Each structure stands twice: as C-alpha cells, then as structure tokens.
Structure 1
C-alpha cells in the first residue's frame, strides 16, 4: 500500500480498514478482491474518475457562488428592509452568517463523509441547500435572510469541499492527484469571485428576489445529474456496503466493517476530528493560519471594489459586479501557472537529502509564496495607487487580475500541501482549513467600509497590501524549520513508519 493511502491511527481517531484488508483470507470479512478489484475507486476507469472529479469541481464552483451572489443587490435590500449603513455595514450580515455557517459545518459535519460515505452526505446536503434558498427568495424581513443564510452557508461548505475529498478517494498518487485538486481550487476561487458577476446580471434584469429564484431553478434542474452520476467514491463506504450484503446473506461480519451504522460515539469521533488534527498537527495548524489570513484579507479587499469604482468612476452597483470578472480571469491564469508548481515540486526529489527520491513537502509552497508576494501584495499595491479618477478604469481592473492570480496560487499551494499529507482524512484536514477561511472571511470584511472611509482608497488598499506581504513571506520560514515541524507531526511520523514497513515488505 502506498504511504499516502494510510489513515490516521491511534486512540484519538477511529481506526479504519486499509485499502487491501489484512483479513482478506476470512470469508466473513469484506475486502477488495485483490489489487485489481474493479470496485476499488483507485481501479476505476480513468474516464469515470475524471467524470466524477469534474462533476465535484463544478459543484464547488456552483455552490461557492451562493456566498457572494447576494452582495450586489444589498442597497435595494437595505432600503426595502430599512437596514441602516451609516455607521456599520449591516447589509453584509447575510454574508457573515453564511460564512459562519460554513465554518461550523466544515468543522463538525464535513468529516461525516469520511465515516459514512460521500454520496449520502452530499445528496442530503444538496436537497437541504435548495430548501434554505426558498425562504431567502420570499423573505419578508432582513432577519430571515440573515438566519437562512447561516444554514445555506453550512450546506455549501459541505458540498464545495467534497471535491477535495473526492480527489483523495479516486487518485492514488501525489502526481495523479495534483490536477484534480487544482480543479477543486479553481472551482472554489472562481465560484466566490463569479458570485457578484452573476448576481449583477440577474439583479439588473430581474430584480433581487430572482437572485435566489434562479439558484433554486438551476440547483433543482441539476439534482438528477448528481443523483445518477455522483457515485460513492469512499472506499470505506463501499466495503461497508459489502459488509451489509454479507450480513444479509447470513455471514458473521467483523463489526469494524459495519461502517454505515450511526451511533453517538462515531458521530462525536467524526465531528471532533478536525479539531484534533489542527491542534495536534503543526503542519496543519500553520497551513490553516496562512490560508485563513490570506482568504480573509482577500475578501476584505474585494469588498472595496464597489466602494472604489462607485466613488472614482460614478459606476452603478451592477457595473461594479461585472468588473469582478477580472478577478475570475486572474484566478484562471493562476490555475494555469500552478502547473509550474507541480513541476517544481516533483523536481525537488533530486535535492531531498532526508528522504532521497521523494519530493520535498515544502516545494509545494514555492509558487504560493511568489503568488502571494507578486500577485496578491503586488496587485494590491498597484491597485491602491492606480485608484485615481484621472487614471482609466482599466488600470485598477488589471491589478484585480493580478490579485486573482496570486490568490489561486496561494490557496492551491496550501491545499496541495494539506491533501497530500492527509489524503485518507483530507476531508477533516480541509474542514479545519475551511473553518479558518470562513471565520476570517466572515468578520474581516466588516471593517472594510470604515477603513476605506477613514484612510481613503489609496492608503486602505496599501495597508492590505502590507498585511498580505507579511503573510506571504512568513511561510518562507517553513523552508528553514519545515523538517523540524514535520518531525513533530504524529501523523507524518506514522506515515514514515508505514513507508519503511511497506518498503521492507516489497524487498
């Protein structure tokens, strides 16, 4: 078994059967029928793997739009429901509660997919999201929007992060996983940035309530696609299904394999796993903090687009939504540049003195640091000092493209780093990262309005650029102390032991 297939073990986390069961000689124990078992997700046809991977990435893109699509019509919503914004940006509360809901579910509910299968969790959550969109469309007061957005955000966090888990379930090696994980990042980043663009188009032609109505329509129309083609990719859930079939036939099945039986202890174990990981795994803690600060600062910055372009160029709110297409374009460019990161990572194997022949884990961060420095920070600096009425609008728009490209490189680097390290429990690891990102993106943008009014467009953006520069340079310390940090990781130490054991067995 490859080292990255192994799972977390020990008294803290539930032990789970390996890919090829150690009990394969027992008739009463479900296991893969050899290394070429066609039901093992690692052995699925490549076409089926890519179909499910692309479907999961598309889901991430579609659901992430839900977070920001409501930001464009906030002026009309505030007017209809008598929401004041003189002192505080109260109209942002539907986005704040959405992100808080995402943080909660990513931390406590998302890991359930690891223990009870991705398909049932995904489909039930998908239907719940549609249900929570209905009261948003017909809301008669602002409180309804604020409350229902919390639950919608919780659903989106589960659906959007499923793609990262699917990549770990289907693709066995780091090399094969790199492109699927990058597609997840592309969907995650472009979905958030495309929300205002889509919201502007719907709001301009149909009105603010149709922002929710349209989502109900397209999510409802796509449900049959997900029902018939979103296959179960979790190997443990497939083995659990075999256990159930064996049990029905009268066989005495090992109780550890009756994986679909839900009880309180299993629920608590699944729900607490991200917290256990983030506070016991130094690598995951550092990665979570970096990604959370980056995404939070980025959300704060993009909130300024409306303020700057309406102030400088007298644009209406719909036009400020359309201009954020430049961020989406930049994120696509960043995704293309991420292929260079892939090459740099695998080329680092020739320089690895600690584990010869294996890539250096921190090599995943090379392009992320460059993207943070020259893309996010550099783009923000340029955006700050091109935000002048005498300078054409295309100048700050190009700067937004730079920021978009940099943000994708940063988040992709962190995600690759985390998914590779915690592939068997990538859902829990990414749940911890997503929680940090959601919390920071929920509350930091609440300060955007007062900051830009107090400091002015140029200095407010410059301050964000300085913060981003510090955040981008901080991970360079991992190149110095990365080996020591990884040495303190219980999981990585266990993985190294497994690698040595497997190598000895092969010999």
Structure 2
C-alpha cells in the first residue's frame, strides 16, 4: 500500500515520494504539460484492459437491452390492430398512438441525451432507461385512459434513445479499433433482430392473451435486464479516472496531485444549441455525404416498419394464419446474420492492406455497401412480383427474396454508420445524430400511410415503388467508392479527417 510506504519514509526522515513516481506506481501519469493526470496504457482498471468475461457480460447485457426496447417499438403495430377496437378509433390513429409517437419520442431523445450522456456515466443511464421503460410498459397495460397511454408511449420512446445513443460509446470505452469492428457489428445485429422480433412476439402474445399482455411481457423482460445491469461496471474512462485519482490521493500523504484529465461537462445552453441542434442540422444540409447517408439509412430501415403493416396481410392472402404470417420476419433475420460473411471479408481486406503497408481509407470499408445496395433492389423487385394478386407462386419463392432484403438492410446500416465514423472523426457524433433523427422520424411516419398505399396501389405496385427507390440507391456505392475521397477533401468537416489520415500515413492500432 502506498500509504504505508509514504508514512514509513516520512517517519525516517527520508524525502517524500514525488507525485510523478506515485502516479506511475499506480499506472497513471501526468499529461505533457503537467497539469492533469491521465491513464497509462496498461492500467488494469481501464475498461480496455478488463477481462474478456467482464466485457462480454457487459456488452451482451446492454445489447439485449437495446434488442428488446427496439422490439417493443415494432410490437406496437400488432397492439394497435387490436386496441383500435377497444377504443373505437381508426387504424391510422391507433398506429400513430402505438408506433409513431414512440418513435417521435425517440427523435427528441436523440437530441436531448447525447450532450449529457458523457457526464453521468454509462451504467446509471442504462439503469434509468431500462427501469423506467419497464414501468412505462406496465402502466400502458394497466390503465384504460388513452391520454395516459399516449404519455407513457412518448416517454418510452424518449427513454429508448438512451441505449440507442450511448451503446456506441460503451463499445468505444471497452474495445480497441480492431475489436470495435466486431462489437459494433454485434450491436447492429442485436438492434436489427429487435426490429424483426417485435412483430413475431406480439402476434403470438396477442393471439394467446390480448394486446395489454404484450406490454406486460416486455415489462417483465426489461425488468430482468434492469436487474442484470446493476452488475455491469461503469465504463466511462473519465469518471473511472476521477475515482482512481481520488483513491490514490486518499492513500498517500503527498501534498498535491493534479486533477484528472476530464473533457466531460454538462453543456451550457449555447453549447447545447450549437452541438445538439445546429451542428447536426448543418451537417445534414451542407454535407452531401451526410445527406445521402441519412436518406439511405432512414428509408432502408423504415422498410421494417412498413413490413410490420404490410407483410402479414400479404401472407394471410396466401392462406397463412395471422400468427404464422409473422414468422416470415425470420427470413429477414436470416439475411441479417449472413452479414457475418461480409465482415469476415472486410477483415481479410484490411489485414491484407496492413501487411502491404498501405493506408486504410474509409472507402476501403464500403464492400458491404457495394453488395447491399443491389441486393436490396433485387430483393424488393423479386418480392414485388412473386406475391398475390399478380402471381400465385409458392410462398417460399417471395420469402427467399426477404433473405436478400435482410442482408442488404444490415449491410447498409453497418457500413454507412462506420463510414460516417471514419470520414468525420470528431464530428461523427453530430453526423450520427442527424442520421438518427431522420431515421426515427421516417420510421414513425411511414407506417401511417402504409395500409392506404397498399390498399390503393395493390401489393405489387406498392412494393415496386419501394423497389424503384432502392434501385435509385444503387448509384451511391460506386460514387462513394470512386469519388468519396475527393468529396471528403472538398468538405469543410470531413477535410479534417482526411488531413489526419494523410499525416499518419496509415491506420494505427490503439490499446
């Protein structure tokens, strides 16, 4: 113990150990200017040096939280279909109450929470989000008042933005650059499976019980996850560093130890308006890359919410029972899992470039986008013209096309978010906020007109409209691959990332 050795040296009249030596003994060091304390790379309590078992427990649990909270958003569609009879409201209004306002709450959460999320720590925010989400689900199931249901659904959507916006930070806290590729991919898989699992779970729950039990069961699941979250560790390095410095200070008689290096703070109003509102909007409207990516991701991922309204009626017309029709979402889930093959290809390409000593440019990681764009268009055209009423092919024929759709959606989601991070570096949080805002907004709006669109245009034409949009997206991968670097060099914000890459010459592994 340092306190014992310090007291011993003082009692014998020997010189007191210097702060530098003391910090080094505890795997800490001073910044070059000597004003602050920072981590040494081998500190055992830094999140990146935790055991594999510790990291696995924490990341699996928070991914499960995001999975089931995401599932509760798509599960709202099945609840809306039954609740409209109880409250004697239109189908569109019921979808708005149980689906759209949840996602509008998420829109607000993506704006409000990120500026403060670095200050209060990851663990506390996960516990607050999951605990209050479970309470919201219970209240929705118990009460008969529609205004209360609306308030709880908005609140649940607001809370859902917490894991959605800070899981990426937890992954960055715990994993180095190579491991982050896979950790981010597993998170994407979990989130997308949540979108797919929601309609399946809700269909069977409502068929066996009623729509209120849909929320009771989600409340039980999220409450169990909340209990598990009490056993995760806080992973925010700045908070842990403050604890370490205090621990060292309390253990020694050294008169002065500099404060920990900490960039986290609660922003004032001007900073909040600039970073949380103005900058994402500025990036969306001024940066062609961000604008295109936001539109692509938002429209593509909104397809899941469109499918929650359209897929089951289509398969019911083929003779499926309502619950069995929900199982068709499994095909999209299979496609999601196939993205593992593309991540393996990415790893092979990046390792090859490293062995060649070549710099790793963001465009080199767009292989998945080059595959996903065409596969999405092919899958949607295939589905559009193998379903009734124009075609009476066996149900397996259009279902296979949904595997392509699931693969494409996961690739676009994973690759484009990664491209934002690589291309915009310190501005990536604001860029991601712009994408998340539009994604949640369109996901909430599209289901409102999906039934009318399919009723008026018919299944084949309505799906063809979506396929045509996906076909237009196919021009983006070759443009980004061939001209992405040139676009970034001309960008006010992305130029910073390009200059850093030029200075480094190649990507370096961080500890």
Q: TM-score range by the shorter chain?
A: 0.7 to 0.9
| Residue in 1 that maps onto 2:243 | 241
Q: Partners in 2 of 1:276 and 1:502 — Cα distance?
A: 28
**How far 1:305 sits from its partner (Å)?**
0.5
Aligned residues of 1:380 and 1:403 also touching (Cα < 8 A): yes
Per the alignment, residue 157 of structure 2 pairs with 153
Given the superposition, is the C-alpha separation of residues 275 and 435 from structure 1 closer, same or farther in structure 2, using an over 3 Å criterion? same
For residue 125 of structure 1, the aligned residue among 129, 142, 147 is: 129
Distance in structure 2 (CA, Å) of the matches to 1:359 and 1:437? 29
Aligned mate of 2:185, from 176, 182, 189:
182
1:358 Cα shift?
1.7
> Could you tell me which of 462, 465, 482 is aligned with 1:463?
465
Offset of residue 163 of structure 1 = 2.7
Answer with 425-434 or 329-338: which moved more: 425-434
Matched, 1:64 2:70: yes
- Residue of structure 1 in register with 2:372 after alignment: 371
In structure 1, the partner of 2:61 is: 55
Contact 1:199 1:211 in 2 (8 A): yes
Of 128, 143, 148, the match for 1:144: 148
Tell which has more relative contact order, 1 or 2 (C-alpha 8 A, sep 6+).
1
Instruction: Count matched residues.
Output: 475
The answer to whether the Cα contact below 8 Å between 1:130 and 1:220 also exists between their aligned partners in 2 is yes
Is the Cα contact below 8 Å between 1:301 and 1:464 reproduced in 2? no
1:495 is displaced (CA, Å) by 4.6
2:221 to 218, 221, 231: 218
Give SS of 1:313's match. coil
* Aligned with residue 391 of structure 1, among 390, 393, 400: 393
Greater Cα offset, 37-46 or 458-467: 37-46
Where in structure 2 are the equivalents of 1:344-493 lying within 5 Å?
Answer: 344-347=349-352, 357-374=358-375, 376-388=376-388, 390-421=392-423, 428-489=430-491, 492-493=494-495
Report whether the alignment pairs 1:110 with 2:117. no
Q: 1:421 to 1:496 in 2, by over 3 A?
A: closer
Cα distance in 2 between the residues matched to 1:74 and 1:36: 53
Unaligned runs of 5+ in 2: 1-26
Query: 1:199 maps to what in 2?
Result: 202
CA offset digits 1:387-436 (Å, max 9, x no partner): 12632222222222221121111111112223445667765543332222
8 Å Cα contact 2:95/2:447 also seen in 1: no
Q: Name the CA shift for 1:61/1:379 in 2 (closer, same or farther; >3 Å).
A: same
Residues of 2 paired with 1:202 and 1:465: CA distance?
Answer: 32
Task: Give matches, 1:266-345, under 5 Å.
Answer: 271-272=276-277, 274-275=280-281, 278=284, 283-310=289-316, 312-345=317-350
Contact 1:134 1:216 (8 Å CA) reproduced: yes
Which residue is equivalent to 1:4?
none
* Shift in Å, 1:378: 1.2
Q: Does 1:36 align with 2:37?
A: no
Could you tell me which residue of structure 1 aligns to residue 52 of structure 2?
46
Deviation at 1:109, TM superposition (A): 0.9
Question: How far has the Cα of 1:82 moved from its partner?
Answer: 0.4
Structure 1: unaligned runs, 5 residues or longer: 1-18
Deviation at 1:131, TM superposition (A): 2.3
Say if 1:472 and 1:98 are closer, same or farther in 2 by CA, change over 3 A.
Answer: farther
Instruction: Report the secondary structure of 1:445's partner residue.
Output: helix
Moved more, 453-462 or 157-166: 157-166
Instruction: Provide closer, same or farther for how the CA distance between residues 494 and 458 of structure 1 changes in structure 2, counting only shifts above 3 A.
Output: closer
Residue 23 in structure 1 maps to residue 24 in structure 2: no
Cα drift, residue 178 of structure 1: 1.0
Distance 1:294 1:261, change over 3 A: closer
Q: Distance in 2 between matches of 1:270 and 1:115?
A: 15
TM-score, structure 1 as length reference? 0.83
Deviation of 1:443 (Å):
0.9
Provide the C-alpha distance between the structure 2 equivalents of 1:242 and 1:276, rounded to a whole number of angstroms: 39
